Amino acid sequence: MRTVGAALGVVALLAVSGCNEKDETATKLPPVTIAEAPAASAGGACILWDWSFIEEKIGVRFSVAASDQVDDTSTCVVQTVTGSWPDLSLSVVEQTKADAKIFLATRMPKKAVKLKDLGKAGYRLNTAATGGHGPSVEIGWLSEAEQLQTLKFTFPKGANSAAITRMNSGLLELAKAMDTTDG
């Protein structure tokens, strides 16, 4: 038993003395460079986006993306690293049998306005600020490829009416650029 105790004592001394030595290799490591992952790397509906494409259309630079897939509906949400808002979400239902008339009757929110020149049918809905965020702009449409698509931009608190007006145009341009003719 004495030998075991002595061996443990030696191991403890070696361990303690090793902790006091400076590891020279740790100070010679190169600095870490963090690369921005593309939005598409999140999968799901995010495969339809890249950061430059979004920024070109709506004027906002995002850097974080997350996605999900439930049955035939794929989603993507992008945000900045500085906070929860602004954010931009996309929802895509892969296939629908709805035509333009059914889409407008059943999918268009009551306070929304019809949009022309977007897919087979489309709408825009502006909502007021609620909870911890500012107002939002939502555009939904029945694409030429018979998919249900919805874009929603949510502002941080304090967004002014000029920013909302610009986003109405920018989000419509983004939706038009994303409207597909192939399923």
pLDDT on residue 105: 96
Q: Which residues contact 142 (CB under 8 A, 6 or more apart)?
A: 96, 98, 99, 100, 103, 107, 119, 120, 121, 122, 148
* Domains of the chain with CATH codes: 39-178 (3.40.1000)
User: What is the residue-averaged pLDDT of the chain?
Assistant: 86
Banded pLDDT at 5 (limits 50, 70, 90): very low
pLDDT higher than threshold 60 for residue 26: no
Mean pLDDT of 10-36: 58
Please give the Cα distance from 159 to 53 (Å, whole number). 23
Please give the Cα distance from 170 to 148 (Å, whole number). 20
Please give the Cα distance from 48 to 135 (Å, whole number). 25
Please give the Cα distance from 34 to 167 (Å, whole number). 30
Please give the Cα distance from 131 to 33 (Å, whole number). 37
pLDDT higher than threshold 90 for residue 90: yes
Tokens, residue 158: 């304090």
